[in-house]
Amino acid sequence: MDSVILKGIKFDLAVGLDAWRRVAKPQPVVVDLDIQPTFTLEAAAAKDDVNLTLDYGKPYRQLVKEVNETLTYPEIRYLISHISDVVADYASLSLEIALPKALLQAKQGLAYHAMIDKSPDAGTVFTLSLTIKQIATECIIGVNPHERTYKQPLFFDISVPIVAGSFEIVGEHDAGHHHQVHDLVQEVVERVEGSSYQTLEALATAVAQIVTMNYGYSLAKVRIEKPYAYPVIAATSVQLTRTKGFFENKDFWKVKLP
């Protein structure tokens, strides 16, 4: 698989909601593109000829021009669709879109991963996932006496799938998805700060239950960093993945919510 990569394209755009839940307010947006052209790069390599490869300057210049003319996207999928239209001639397109200041409680904001695959057999397939990065909280966590006395900081990453199917912008998408992300993070922070688990595993499972059962996501990957577990290392972490079905099918085992 041959591809051309454009990394770290920076914009100031209004995408969904800003950190204060306001619409049409610009925020930093960083885009990475991985473009698989409809042809291989073998000829360009064999002849060492720039005319036989993908001219990455053309989609870059066109993307910067058009996006900076639009500036406002009511929902993340509109931005993805616009980028897809600009790049246009590709076999597959992978996008990483970072909104580092999209949430007050998340130190690294939101990171979207989108993949558009124009497979001749299956038609155009679109997948979109979201990672909420470094949600900052404090709570009682651990088994040691000193850990049961004082709250300590934790940092959460939560990853969820959003779309898997055909690539279409159907109807009018408003900022509902972005409101839900804000609500989810607010609930997780409030629940965690009131909790007193002994293990990261139990806490991560409880958070996964909130994400799947309260917000309808089919799957949640939860990573927790505990920076003060051992003073001589940066952090200890636990990461687990749970499906909504995991909780639906285990009525005999109720996860203790914070």
Domain edges within the chain: 1-102, 134-257
Per-residue pLDDT, 173: 54
Which residues contact residue 176 at a Cβ distance below 8 angstroms, ignoring those fewer than 6 apart? Answer: none
- List the chain residues with pLDDT less than 50: 170-171, 252-253
Per-residue pLDDT, 168: 63
Per-residue pLDDT, 250: 67
C-beta of residue 2 within 8 angstroms of C-beta of residue 37: yes
Per-residue pLDDT, 253: 47
CA distances (Å), origin 82, targets 66, 73, 75: 9, 10, 12
